[in-house]
Amino acid sequence: MQSDTISPRRVPLALPGSRRVEHCYAVHGKGGCETARSARVELVLVDEARDVWNVLGFHAGADRFASDAVDCDANWRVLGWRMADGTRPFGDYDVVDPELAQLDQLPRAAHPRVLRACTGDDAS
């Protein structure tokens, strides 16, 4: 049975010739799994210029990540994450090339105030 919906084309997380890679649980890889809500994580963020920024934050639910380091109007996307305590609950990290990231398919990083305002939830 064929589905009528067309899934977006996924590009690889990294290629053998990738010049710059991040080691993390990629949102489009192992990091798409649920982790403990409000668990402290190090977010690997990427912007439109493909700059990468590592900040402490937390996973606030499905496709919702927050950090006090992110401005309320920031345009950072979550490329992936690592547990802040250094554990690796999903095994080895994914190897991710920020140049290949499909930005429009990555969740935005939000300031906790923005999450609370949008959801009425105390995400911190």
How many CB atoms are closer than 10 A to CB 89? 11
Helix (H, G, I), strand (E, B) or coil at 100: helix
Amino acid at 64: R
pLDDT digits (tens, 9 = 90+) for 12-22: 999 999 999 99
Tell whether the model's pLDDT for residue 124 goes beyond 60: no
Which of 9-18, 20-29, 33-42, 95-104 is predicted least confidently? 33-42
> Using CA atoms, how far apart are residues 1 and 118, in angstroms rounded to an integer?
38
Q: What is the reported pLDDT for 9?
A: 63
Q: What is the reported pLDDT for 2?
A: 43
